[in-house]
Copies of this chain bind each other. A is one copy, B any other.
């Protein structure tokens, strides 16, 4: 049977996973955020087979996360740069990195740390705040139908 697609799923998390919920896509975005633009540079940095990389690049372009632009150095090939939608995934990658650093022992052998470019100090953990600025925890959250939905059903 064919693999189920979450593109029609009702849950926004499932929809997002349909686009970036595989082993390679987020790593490609991670490298793109570091400035990688060329096919071969992605391939070498990731250690991924070229056919798979080609497939994922097409998929990410189709999802509006990457954009194909003419080569900056005048060569005849493509470069892949993040769109605003793609760049906005940086929050997700920071969340992944912070979770990994906290919970996967030895995951950060090379000791890479995200720092504030202004003063070189490590960044704080991601925080979720309420509309009034209070810091929220998991236990403070609830998932409800939005105003528009409630209005529609009323």
Contacts and interface: CB of A to CB of B under 8 A. Distances in A.
Nearest to A26: B17
In which size bucket is the chain A interface?
35 or more
The oligomer's copy count stands at 2
A16 to B, nearest CB: 4
Interface string A104-124: 100111111111111111111
Interface stretch (A54-62, A67-75, A129-137): A129-137
A130 to B, nearest CB: 4
Contact of A17 (B95, B96, B124): B96
Given A89-B99, A116-B141, A136-B123, A17 B12 contact: no
The A contact surface, by secondary structure, is mixed
B97 A13 contact: yes
A139 B116 CA distance: 9
B109 A98 contact: no
Given A88-B103, A107-B12, A146 B112 contact: yes
A131 B123 CA distance: 6
Contacts of A36: none
18 contacts: A10-B110, A13-B97, A13-B100, A15-B104, A15-B107, A19-B104, A21-B21, A89-B99, A111-B145, A112-B143, A112-B145, A112-B146, A116-B130, A116-B141, A122-B131, A123-B128, A124-B128, A124-B131
The 7 closest A-B pairs by CB, nearest first: A111-B149, A111-B146, A12-B100, A16-B100, A15-B107, A116-B130, A121-B131
